[in-house]
């Protein structure tokens, strides 16, 4: 009986970790109109959870994400514009909350780093290909080398 209990607990744990979005309650907000609901969904998909590395507010079940979703809902109910809400979140949590941060001196590496690395890779590849030794096909065999080659070929 004890083994059965352990197996059931392990199976439930596997189910919860396999489907985490089904294991937690989701937020339910009532919107005045469908446009506000669309704006809400767009904003929580565009804002990143401060605790999670690669999840937006819509996907995260972290307590801070739930608080921020509630905050976005309240700001929308107050009639704030999307830009005002995003600016509020950036002022409070920094540029990290944006999935697409603004181009500024602080984010140059983020925006232009991959391009620079690609260009460096191309330059290195070109240099390696150019330095590759070429085979001199014009070299002639001496008579002694020709006779040795003939002997080797006859022995086979």
Question: Which pair of structure tokens corresponds to residue 71?
Answer: 């905050």
> Do 111 and 103 contact (CB within 8 A), yes or no?
yes
* pLDDT score of 125: 92
Per-residue confidence at 124, pLDDT binned at 50, 70, 90? very high
The rounded distance, in Å, linking the Cα atoms of 9 and 118 is 49
- DSSP letter string, 53-86: SS-BTTT--SHHHHHHHHHHHHHHHTT--HHHHH
Match 């804002």 to its residue by tokens.
47
- The stretches of the chain forming alpha helices (DSSP H) are 2-18, 20-23, 34-46, 63-77, 82-93, 108-131, 143-155
Q: What would you measure as the largest C-alpha separation in the chain, in angstroms?
A: 98
For residue 121, pLDDT beyond 90 = yes
* pLDDT score of 146: 84
> Do 56 and 48 contact (CB within 8 A), yes or no?
yes
Query: pLDDT tens, 61-107?
Result: 888 889 999 999 999 999 889 899 999 988 888 888 887 777 778 77
The rounded distance, in Å, linking the Cα atoms of 9 and 129 is 59
Question: pTM above 0.95?
Answer: no
> Do 38 and 13 contact (CB within 8 A), yes or no?
no
């Amino acid at each position: 009986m004890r083994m059965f209990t352990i197996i059931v607990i392990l199976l439930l744990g596997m189910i919860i970790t396999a489907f985490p979005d089904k294991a937690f309650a989701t937020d339910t907000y009532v919107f005045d109109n469908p446009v506000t609901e669309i704006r809400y969904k767009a904003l929580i998909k565009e804002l990143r959870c401060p605790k999670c590395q690669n999840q937006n507010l819509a996907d995260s079940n972290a307590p801070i994400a739930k608080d921020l979703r509630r905050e976005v809902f309240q700001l929308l109910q107050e009639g704030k514009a999307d830009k005002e809400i995003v600016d509020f979140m950036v002022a409070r949590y920094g540029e990290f909350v944006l999935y697409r941060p603004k181009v500024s001196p602080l984010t140059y590496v983020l925006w232009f780093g991959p391009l620079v690395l690609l260009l460096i890779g191309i330059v290195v590849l070109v240099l390696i290909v150019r330095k590759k030794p070429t085979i001199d096909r014009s070299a002639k065999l001496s008579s002694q080398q020709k006779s040795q080659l003939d002997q080797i070929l006859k022995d086979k």
